[in-house]
């Protein structure tokens, strides 16, 4: 049994004539410690799928199980607990808390964990030690996203969910962030599920799922993956 | 590990310092005032309540017009199971104090049993020339210890200030609309000082205490009702006895006089009879002289049944002749007739004509009187006259006069039984009818008019001088026509059980209602503030939706975030409340105590820690803030994390955009969008403006209201002078004067305090009350109609003061009269209802002064200026009302500031964007403040009718119920204009601040990622 299993996930939005089926029966398996990329163009359903895995969206049909636990069977409270202990989120928009410093934003994540990672070490890993006392509005986009990753990773989640983490960043910064995610994965062994529309990023993944119109068009395991720092697009 | 989100708090406070400082300061001020009030109210109220026992406050009091005998007092004490305490007082006018107004001082002697005195400053009077006066009056009128107060009879030096627990509120009369420390004072002097004042204004007042305390107000009420009934009976019996004694005394005098009169009548009757008899005899003599002996004999023979021969024989035999005389007569019988022979026989025996006549009468059996009648009849027939005419002629009067006198005498025969007063008992007095039947004569079986008629007929004959009889009769008549001397009757001037005594109870009731009003104000303000916080928190949540979504996605629970967002408003509220409480205890408490002490004559107090104040201001404030905010936040947190991430923070389904006509100018469309975006904030703003407006208008309305009332009361006075006279024999020659009847009854409308109502009996076609009052119905003054919410056709029941007797009136409509509560009814109806005689009246209406009435005959005069006297008293009490107005303005400023600020903040990105697009600051201010400006103006305009209705409701259902008298609910338009101006001015200040804030919004805001 895989660490993360999705079976026949279906999801629609709207009703009647306006009903749009976003996910049309997704089946996928992700193993623990893998970097998994959900790749697809806008509207392919990849973010919806990520949100369903993250328990902030529910599927109309199908089941998600993480480490043997089915999210569909969880109450709202249990889902919160599930997110609290197993998931870390990174968004394209960072969503940092503006009146908390870099370190404090990371502490927000650490607070949720019984065994958080060392914040200073993490900041060192993330390369934001020098910015630790700055507020988000004093940071560049890359620094904000590093902080955001720090906040997500500090509680040492089983799964790090990244929704277009480089969508708002320039090429170099994007690569730095991807490298960081890769480093974190390697260092802490978290499973990383990353949504992106950037085709190049698939090369750093262990496992790739290509989505289009709510269907997995192609999935494969990267026998030879490229380091994030070597990616090019 | 501490929640790192907590680190936001200090920064949040710093970054939104304006909001939190404004709220904090407002809370400190508001809760400080409320807490200060509650502590003051509780402390003063406790002192007031404890005073009932501490100063042994009466259970009620009765004031009598005269001093009742001890036995009456003890009867009342027994009946009411109570004990009386002598608390006589004298109402004295201050001399040389204020030329314009009369200041009355009610002076009591030192008290040591009931209603004992609380010395506030100085010392109690120790000498006869010392006086301790009410503290409040002294402060109001700036009378210092050591000053001299002068009355008409003596003067006193003020030794100290006191508070009398039975006058915590200075009501001179219980039915007064308002108390007054301006013109009324209570004071204490030594017993010697009390005696020095003289007794011309002495009131025999007795306080009572029940022997067994009552359990509750119902029992208090029942006991009072029972006591009134007992009082009525005891006093009625006493007064009847008193009047009966007067009647009995008069009756006894009348009996003596009547005996004297009877003798005079008898003498008169005898004399008249003798005169008539003598005249009759003289008439007969005159008649006899005109007849011959033969004619007389013939007449008598004609009357008798005997023949002439029989009479002749009998006469001869009666003549008692000797033998020689008989022989002589026999010899002459051959030549003489029988008459000649009889004549010769008479000569022989020496018999006179009279002897012969007497002999003739004897023989015929005709009485002398009858003979006289016969002769007189013959004479009258012969001369064509009557015996009465002959007698009248003899008496020198007319035949008719004699005839009338004789008839009168016959009637008098029938009267003799009635006239015999001695055989009758004195009339029994029914006290209830005494006033109507004040003349004992009407209780007799005869009338003086009948007797005068008989005497008049005697006078007409001229045969008897009746002057003496008339004189005696006059004395009797005067004696009988008594008006009972009511000076010694026991009459209740005042009867007030404690629970109805405004001077004792009003203070407590007012403090209770103040307490309720203030607590209500606190809650309203806190709810409004809680909603302000809720709106600002909603705004923050909208702003921070992305972060909240991330936190929720990261595993933060809704509860954790709710707690997080609650911390600041609740902490600020708690800190504000605690600081407010400190301020309340240290600053505002003394302020409110001062306000109480400038309104009421309260005894000394101690500041008490008030758990309730802390609970209400601090615990309740925080709890209320928690409840409202938890409610709002919980609703917000129901939004899914994903929706937060998408910025869709409304828990409601997304609504379609409101369609706005594209034809509208851009600015208006933009304004409308802002309006719809912030509809919730504007709703809160409206309620805030409404609440602030109520306070502001309440603070402003009384001054203009009293002025307006003053004008209306004068305008509706139907005459310039109303004279109440002491008796209905007081007359005037003033052509303008119009008589009227009046009495005062008490209102008896359930749920309302007792009012004194004047009942007027109005003459037909009155020159002053120009209204057609239907018979059997009444017109009532506007006050009665509005205050008690009557409609035409309703029944008004009024109660006789200090009695259980009630009167019912059918209301035909209202009459425009505002100076007092009054009922107008036709005079005839009045006389019937109050059982008065036809010529009864109470006084005069007049538009000019009645100079021909003696001052001593006037009980009281109501002049035009008296109509507004109450306004002067009320106006002195509204000084502190401005505080409400200022509070209203503070609320305006606070709410406008907080809500406008959050609208600007909510739109800061858009504002930045508009700047990038090239809008100028002024244009941006127009875009974002237009809707708020419109909302402020609309709220102010809408709040005017709502405030009007709410205050009208408060007057009708609260003020009118709680206070006696009536003041029409008139809110001057200037109040609303001022409210509008204050609202706009407050907003102008806020708008200027917001303009600065808009200027400070950096363009970079639009370029930032939309984080928290």
Q: What are B911-966's pLDDT values in tens digits?
A: 876 776 667 777 788 878 888 899 999 999 999 999 999 988 888 887 788 777 88
Q: How far apart are CA A221 and CA A201, in angstroms?
A: 14
pLDDT at B444 exceeding the cut of 60:
no
Tens of pLDDT along B643-674?
888 777 765 554 555 777 777 776 777 778 78
Reported CATH class of domain B731-852: mainly beta
CA–CA gap between residue A132 and residue B303 (Å, rounded): 169
Give the nearest partner residue to B553 out of A54, A77, A155, using CB atoms.
A54
Domain range list for chain B: 1-49+516-652, 50-236, 245-480, 656-715+864-1012, 731-852
Euclidean distance between CA atoms B603 and B108, whole angstroms: 17
Under DSSP, the state recorded for B423 is: G
Q: Is the pLDDT of residue A83 over 70?
A: yes
* Cβ–Cβ gap B553/A83 under 8 Å: yes
CB contact under 8 A, B553 and A108: no
With H, G, I as helix, E, B as strand and everything else as coil, classify residue B652.
coil
Cα dist from B532 to A95, B306, B525, B632, B930, whole Å: 27, 142, 10, 11, 20
Contacts of B923 by beta carbon, 8 Å cutoff, 6+ apart: B914
Name every chain A residue with its beta carbon within 8 A of the beta carbon of B1012.
Answer: 95-99
Is the Cβ–Cβ distance between B936 and B896 less than 8 Å? Answer: yes
**B12, B552, B1011: residue with CB nearest A96:** B1011
Residue A56, C-beta contacts closer than 8 angstroms, at least 6 positions apart: A83, B549, B552, B553, B640, B641, B642, B645
Residues 6+ apart with CB under 8 A from B56: B113, B114, B115, B116, B209
- CA dist B552 and B558 (Å) reads 7
Would you say residue B243 has pLDDT above 90? no
- The DSSP result for B435-478, as a single string, is TTT--GGGGSSS-HHHHHHHHHHHHHHTSS--HHHHHHHHHHHH
The pLDDT of residue A156: 84
User: pLDDT-based confidence at B815, cuts 50/70/90?
Assistant: very high
Closest chain B CA to residue A85:
B555
Band of residue B109 on the pLDDT scale cut at 50, 70, 90: very high
Q: Does the beta carbon of A200 lie under 8 angstroms from any beta carbon of chain B?
A: no
Residue of chain A whose Cα is closest to the Cα of B559: A77
Position B457 confidence tier, pLDDT thresholds 50, 70, 90:
confident
Distance (Å) from the alpha carbon of B10 to chain A's nearest alpha carbon: 10
Residue B121 — very low, low, confident or very high, per pLDDT cuts 50/70/90? Answer: very high
Average pLDDT, chain B: 83
DSSP string, B689-726: HHHHHHHHHHHHHHHHHHHHHHHHHHHT-S-SEEEEES
Alpha carbons B997 and B925: distance in angstroms, whole number: 10
CA angle B38, B43, B49 (to 5 degrees): 115
pLDDT at B435 over 60: no
The percent of residues above 90 in pLDDT, for chain B, comes to 21
Q: Which residue has the higher pLDDT, B868 or B366?
A: B366
- Local confidence band at B1010 (pLDDT 50, 70, 90 cut-offs): very low
- At B1009 the pLDDT is 46
**Cβ-based contacts of A85 with chain B (< 8 Å):** 555
CB contact under 8 A, B645 and A77: no
Q: Mapping DSSP to helix (H, G, I), strand (E, B) and coil, where does residue B648 land?
A: coil
Q: Is B337 left (phi over 0), alpha (psi -120 to 50) or beta?
A: beta
Of the residues A83, A95, A102, A141, the best mutation for testing chain B's interface (the one with the most B CB atoms within 10 Å of its CB) is: A95
Q: Is the pLDDT score of B438 beyond 50?
A: no
Q: What is the model's pLDDT at position B1012? A: 40
Give residues with Cβ within 8 angstroms of B211, minimum separation 6: B81, B82, B83
Alpha carbon distance B579, B566 (integer Å): 20
Nearest-CA residue of chain B relative to A107? B4
Where does the pLDDT of residue B478 fall: very low under 50, low under 70, confident under 90, or very high at 90 and above?
confident
Q: Taking 60 as the threshold, does the pLDDT of residue B442 lie above it?
A: no
**A12/chain B closest Cα distance in angstroms:** 15
Q: Which of B887, B28, B894 is nearest to B533 (CA)?
A: B894
Taking the domain A4-230, which CATH number applies?
3.40.50.300
Phi/psi for B766 (5° steps) reads: -60, 140
pTM of the model: 0.66
Distance CA B862, CA B859 (A): 10
3-state secondary structure chain A: CCCEEEEEEEEEECCHHHCEEEEEEEEEEECCCCEEEEECCCCCCHHHHHHHHCCCCCCCEEEEEECCEEHHHCCHHHHHHHHHHHEEEEECCCCCCCCCCHHHHHHHHHCCCCCCCCHHHHHHHHCCHHHCCCCHHHCCHHHHHHHHHHHHHCCCCCEEEEECCCCCCCHHHHHHHHHHHHHHHHHHCCEEEEEECCHHHHHHCCEEEEEECCEEEEEEECCCCCCHHHCCC
Q: For residue B365, what is the DSSP state?
A: T
Handedness of CA B30, B35, B38, B44 (dihedral sign): negative
Spatial separation of the C-alpha atoms in residues B873 and B728, rounded to whole Å: 34
Half-sphere exposure of B799 (CA within 13 A, CB side): 13
**Per-residue pLDDT tens digits for B621-634:** 888 888 888 888 88
Phi, psi of B703 (to 5 degrees): -55, -60
Each residue of A7-21: b (16+ CB within 10 Å) or e? bebebeeeeeeeeeb
What residues of chain A lie within 8 A of the CB of B554, using their CB? 83-84, 87-89, 108-109, 112, 151-152, 155
């Amino acid at each position: 049994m895989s660490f993360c299993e999705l079976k026949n996930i279906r999801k629609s939005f709207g009703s009647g004539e306006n009903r749009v089926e976003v996910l049309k029966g997704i089946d996928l398996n992700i193993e623990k410690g893998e970097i998994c990329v959900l790749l697809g163009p806008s509207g392919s359903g990849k973010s919806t799928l990520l949100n369903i895995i993250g328990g902030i969206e529910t599927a109309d049909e199908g089941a998600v199980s993480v480490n043997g636990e089915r999210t569909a069977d969880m109450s709202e409270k249990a889902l919160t607990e599930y997110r609290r202990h197993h998931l870390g989120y990174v968004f394209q928009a960072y969503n940092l808390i503006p009146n908390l410093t870099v370190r404090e934003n990371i502490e927000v994540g650490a607070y949720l964990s019984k065994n958080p990672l060392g914040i200073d070490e993490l900041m060192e890993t993330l390369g934001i030690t020098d910015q630790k006392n700055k507020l988000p509005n004093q940071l560049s986009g890359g620094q904000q996203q590093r902080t955001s990753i720090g906040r997500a990773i500090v509680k040492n989640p089983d799964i790090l969910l990244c929704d277009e983490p480089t969508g708002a960043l320039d090429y170099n910064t994007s690569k730095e962030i991807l490298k960081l995610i890769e480093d974190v994965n390697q260092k802490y062994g978290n499973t990383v599920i990353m949504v992106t529309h950037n085709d190049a990023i698939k090369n750093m993944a262990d496992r790739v799922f290509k989505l289009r119109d709510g269907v997995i068009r192609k999935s494969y395991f990267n026998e030879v993956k490229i380091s994030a720092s070597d990616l090019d697009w | 590990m501490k929640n790192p989100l907590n680190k936001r708090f200090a920064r949040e406070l710093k970054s939104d310092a304006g909001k939190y400082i404004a709220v904090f300061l407002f809370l400190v001020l508001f809760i400080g005032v409320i807490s200060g009030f509650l502590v003051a109210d509780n402390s003063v109220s406790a002192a007031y309540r404890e005073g009932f026992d501490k100063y042994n406050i009466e259970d009620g009091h009765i004031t009598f017009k005269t001093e009742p005998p001890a036995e009456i007092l003890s009867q009342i004490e027994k009946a009411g199971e109570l004990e009386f305490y002598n608390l006589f007082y004298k109402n004295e006018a201050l001399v040389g104090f204020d030329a314009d107004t009369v200041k009355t001082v009610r002076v009591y002697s030192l008290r040591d049993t009931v209603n004992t005195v609380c010395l506030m400053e100085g010392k109690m009077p120790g000498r006869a020339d010392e006086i301790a006066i009410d503290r409040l009056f002294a402060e109001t009128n700036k009378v210092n210890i050591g000053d001299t107060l002068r009355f008409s009879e003596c003067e006193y030096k003020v030794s100290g200030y006191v508070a009398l627990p039975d006058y915590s509120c200075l009501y001179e009369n219980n039915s007064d609309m308002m108390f007054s420390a301006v013109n009324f004072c209570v004071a204490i002097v030594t017993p010697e000082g009390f005696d020095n004042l003289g007794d011309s204004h002495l009131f025999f007042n007795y306080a009572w205490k029940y022997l067994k305390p009552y359990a509750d107000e119902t029992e208090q009420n029942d006991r009072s009702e029972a006591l009134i009934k007992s009082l009525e009976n005891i006093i009625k019996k006493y007064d009847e006895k008193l009047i009966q004694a007067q009647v009995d005394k008069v009756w006894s005098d009348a009996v003596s006089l009547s005996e004297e009169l009877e003798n005079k009548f008898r003498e008169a009757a005898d004399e008249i009879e003798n005169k008539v008899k003598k005249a009759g005899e003289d008439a007969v003599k005159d008649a006899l002289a005109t007849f011959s002996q033969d004619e007389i004999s013939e007449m008598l023979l004609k009357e008798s049944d005997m023949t002439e021969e029989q009479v002749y024989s009998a006469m001869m035999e009666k003549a008692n002749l000797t033998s020689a005389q008989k022989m002589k007569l026999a010899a002459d019988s051959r030549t003489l007739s029988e008459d000649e022979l009889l004549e010769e026989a008479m000569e022989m025996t020496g018999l006179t004509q009279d002897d012969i006549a007497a002999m003739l009468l004897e023989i015929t059996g005709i009485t002398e009187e009858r003979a006289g009648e016969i002769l007189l009849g013959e004479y009258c027939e012969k001369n064509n006259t009557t015996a009465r005419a002959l007698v009248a002629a003899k008496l020198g009067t007319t035949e008719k006069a004699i005839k009338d006198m004789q008839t009168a005498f016959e009637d008098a025969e029938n009267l003799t039984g009635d006239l015999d007063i001695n055989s009758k008992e004195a009339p029994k007095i029914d006290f209830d009818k005494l006033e109507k039947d004040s003349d004992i004569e009407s209780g007799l079986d005869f009338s003086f008019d009948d007797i005068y008629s008989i005497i008049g007929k005697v006078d007409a004959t001229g045969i008897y001088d009746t002057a003496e009889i008339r004189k005696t009769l006059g004395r009797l008549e005067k004696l009988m026509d008594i008006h009972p001397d009511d000076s010694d009757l026991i009459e209740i001037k005042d009867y007030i059980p404690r629970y109805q005594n405004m001077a004792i109870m009003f203070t407590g009731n007012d403090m209770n209602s103040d307490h309720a009003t203030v607590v209500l104000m606190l809650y309203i303000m806190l709810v409004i503030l809680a909603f302000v916080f809720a709106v600002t928190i909603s705004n923050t949540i909208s702003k921070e939706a992305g972060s909240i979504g991330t936190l929720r996605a990261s595993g933060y629970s809704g509860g954790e975030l709710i707690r997080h967002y609650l911390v600041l408003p609740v902490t600020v509220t708690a800190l504000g409340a605690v600081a407010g409480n400190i301020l309340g205890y240290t600053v505002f408490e003394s302020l409110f105590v001062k306000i109480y002490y400038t309104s009421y004559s309260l005894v000394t107090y101690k500041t008490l820690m008030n758990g309730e104040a802390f609970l209400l201001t601090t615990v309740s404030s925080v709890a209320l803030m928690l409840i409202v905010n938890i409610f709002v936040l919980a609703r917000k947190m129901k939004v899914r994390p994903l929706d937060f991430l998408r910025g869709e923070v409304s828990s409601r389904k997304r609504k379609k955009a409101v369609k706005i006509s594209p034809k509208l100018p851009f600015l208006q469309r933009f304004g409308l969008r802002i309006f719809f975006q912030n509809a919730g904030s504007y709703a809160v703003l409206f309620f805030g403006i409404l609440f602030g407006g109520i306070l502001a208008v309440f603070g402003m309305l009384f001054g203009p209201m009293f002025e307006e009332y003053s004008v209306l009361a004068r305008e509706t006075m139907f005459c310039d002078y109303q004279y109440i006279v002491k008796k209905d024999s007081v007359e005037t020659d003033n052509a303008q004067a119009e008589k009227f009847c009046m009495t005062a009854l008490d209102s008896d409308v359930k749920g309302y305090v007792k009012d004194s109502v004047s009942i007027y009996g109005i003459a037909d076609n009155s020159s002053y009350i120009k209204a057609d009052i239907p018979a059997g119905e009444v017109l009532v003054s506007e006050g009665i109609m509005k205050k008690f919410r009557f409609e035409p056709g309703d029944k008004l029941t009024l109660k006789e003061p200090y009695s259980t007797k009630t009167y019912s009136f059918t209301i035909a409509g209202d009459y425009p009269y505002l100076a007092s509560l009054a009922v107008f009814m036709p005079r005839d109806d009045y006389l019937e209802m109050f059982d008065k005689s036809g010529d009864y009246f109470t006084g005069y209406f007049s538009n000019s002064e009645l100079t021909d009435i003696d001052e001593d005959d006037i009980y009281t005069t109501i002049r035009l200026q008296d109509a507004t006297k109450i306004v002067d008293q009320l106006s002195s009490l509204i000084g502190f009302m401005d505080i409400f107005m200022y509070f209203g303005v503070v609320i305006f400023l606070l709410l406008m500031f907080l809500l406008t600020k959050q609208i600007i903040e909510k739109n800061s990105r858009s504002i930045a964007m508009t700047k990038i697009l090239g809008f100028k600051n002024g244009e941006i201010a127009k875009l974002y403040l237009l809707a708020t400006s419109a909302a402020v103006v609309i709220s102010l305009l809408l709040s005017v009718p709502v405030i009007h209705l709410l205050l009208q409701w408060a007057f009708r259902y609260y003020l009118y119920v709680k206070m006696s008298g009536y003041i029409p609910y008139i809110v001057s338009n200037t109040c609303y204009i001022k409210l509008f101006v204050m609202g706009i001015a407050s907003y102008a200040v806020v708008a200027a601040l917001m303009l600065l804030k808009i200027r400070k919004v950096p363009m970079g805001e639009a370029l930032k990622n939309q984080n928290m």
